[in-house]
Amino acid sequence: MAEAEIPYGDALMAPFWEGASKRELRVQRCLGCGEHQFYPRPFCLACGSGSLTWIVSSGRATVYSLTTVRRAIAPEWTPPYVVALVDLDEGPRLTTVIVGEKPASIGDRVRLAWREREGLPPLPVFEREE
């Protein structure tokens, strides 16, 4: 299979999409203060340092909020589906989709899964833990 093309041409996001191609959820970590952040920025939101690196998230998170989408707004997503904000164990809050048979609620523990896409890196989605 051909290497998936990195979408959107955004240099700041390129390490994220390279990670996604390997099914690694990458977030930035500040080398100055150790805080993590996502989406990526050229500086640390906590201390202002420009010394940032990327780490691979554990993929473990807690649901902060969620809602069920019942209208088709994007062709690749067939409603109903659950859009959520999840707090990664490393700290950053991500907007994502909850997949799987088990319904999730606020406060539930979720783990990383991947939604495959044709010709693009997979998207990080989450599913409820047992």
The residues binding Zn ion (CB under 5 A) are 30, 32-33, 35, 44, 46-47, 49
Question: Could you tell me the smallest distance in angstroms from the CB atom of residue 90 to Zn ion?
Answer: 14
Question: Could you tell me the smallest distance in angstroms from the CB atom of residue 49 to Zn ion?
Answer: 5
Helical (H) or strand (E) element with 95: strand 93-99
Identify which of residues 34 and 103 has a Cβ nearer to Zn ion in the complex.
34
Question: Could you tell me the smallest distance in angstroms from the CB atom of residue 58 to Zn ion?
Answer: 20
Identify which of residues 48 and 79 has a Cβ nearer to Zn ion in the complex.
48
Please spell the DSSP secondary structure of 4-69, one letter per residue.
Answer: PPPPTT-TTTHHHHHHHHTT--EEEEETTT--EESS--SS-TTT----EEEEE---EEEEEEEEEE
